Amino acid sequence: MHEKEVSFGEGLNGIVTTTEASTDGDGKPSVIITHGAGQGMQSTLLSKTAARLAELGFIVLRFNFGYIERKSAPSAGGKKEQPDLLAAIEYMKNHGEPILVGKSFGARVCANVALERSDVKALAFYGMPLQGMSKTSKPRDWSHLAKLNVPLLFITGDKDKLCPPDKLTEVLSAVNAPLTSEIVPGDHSFKPRSEDLAVKLCTEWINQLAAVGNELAD
């Protein structure tokens, strides 16, 4: 496995992960991974996801939103981070239309960016934060998910306080796109024992999606 540190956009830093199996010639899309609010691209969940996808032949970029580099807080709703993801898509454009993988806060950013793009092939969400942690947090509007028309994967811990499974079921009832939802044991980060299971579910789904895409292209 090869990891290359890269810079792009307005002072953004990332890591491109590849293996000998990662080539542009096999028709597989690139994958861009975004992180949660509290941890950057080096979280074990995202590192494992990138490594496994590279083993499967994908070219993978994971990167830090700008606020991580500035040692500041993320913006409300991730609005200020959307240009960062757009810069990542632009950076990876030579490797084909991307699949976006988002963890929590990053999932929110991915969903909003995908609404305005025609070149995002699919979206995978680790722990979509449907609500805030505080009991006084205002309800979040997720009606925009119904406007997405690409394959979607939701992976959620059964004890996730930011994405209660019953709330997720309610939100997903309005989704019209091809949809897969997986509930695993654990909290918002799939702790204490389901991190590897979450990675397996995510990477296998992406690999199967790419395989189907290649068959249709043939």
Task: List pLDDT tens digits, range 107-148.
Answer: 999 999 999 999 999 999 999 999 988 777 777 999 999 999
Q: List the domain range (segments joined by +) for residue 49.
A: 2-217
Q: Which two tokens stand for residue 201?
A: 């579910």
Domain count, the chain: 1
- Whole-model pTM? 0.95
Predicted confidence band of residue 216 (pLDDT cuts 50, 70, 90): very low
| Residue 136: predicted pLDDT | 74
Predicted confidence band of residue 184 (pLDDT cuts 50, 70, 90): very high
Predicted confidence band of residue 22 (pLDDT cuts 50, 70, 90): confident
| Residue 27: predicted pLDDT | 73
* CATH code: domain of residue 148: 3.40.50.1820
- Label residue 197 exposed, middle or buried (CB < 10 Å: 0-12, 13-18, 19+): middle
Which long-range contacts (C-beta less than 8 Å, at least 24 apart) are formed by 188-196? 188/104, 188/127, 188/129, 188/157, 188/160, 188/161, 188/162, 188/163, 189/36, 189/45, 189/127, 189/157, 190/45, 190/126, 190/127, 190/155, 190/157, 191/157, 194/157, 195/44, 195/45, 195/48, 196/48
